Amino acid sequence: MFVVMVTTYRLNTKELESGFIDSIKTAYPNRIVEIQVREQDETEYLLGTPANRQRMEKIIEESAEAKHIAFETLEQAVQAAAQ
């Protein structure tokens, strides 16, 4: 039986530090690992689950109905969608 362990790290490049590499080395000592870098579209992430998609569609719908909502940050939009 062959077991593959997959760990996904999702972070902003401004959060990358040498400690990140050290944490990978600690988690996978003396192993061959594959590091794949993929830029993630925030829209893709927000629409990635049915619940998130439904919340975002509701915000878009309310905006189209002249219930315009403005957000300063993406985090504020996500928080509003969670309500």
Does residue 4 sit within a domain? no
Does residue 69 sit within a domain? yes
Which residues constitute the domain of residue 49? Answer: 13-82
How confident is the model at residue 30, as a pLDDT? 93
pLDDT one-digit tens code per residue, 12-34: 888 888 888 898 899 889 998 88
Does residue 57 sit within a domain? yes
Does residue 67 sit within a domain? yes
Does residue 2 sit within a domain? no
What SS3 state is found at 59?
Answer: helix
Stated pTM of the model: 0.43
How confident is the model at residue 66, as a pLDDT? 61
Q: How far apart are CA 73 and CA 58, in angstroms?
A: 18
How confident is the model at residue 29, as a pLDDT? 93
Does residue 26 sit within a domain? yes
Domain count, the chain: 1
Does residue 7 sit within a domain? no
**Along the chain (83 residues), what's the average pLDDT of each consecutive run of 10 residues?**
76 86 90 84 76 82 67 77 72
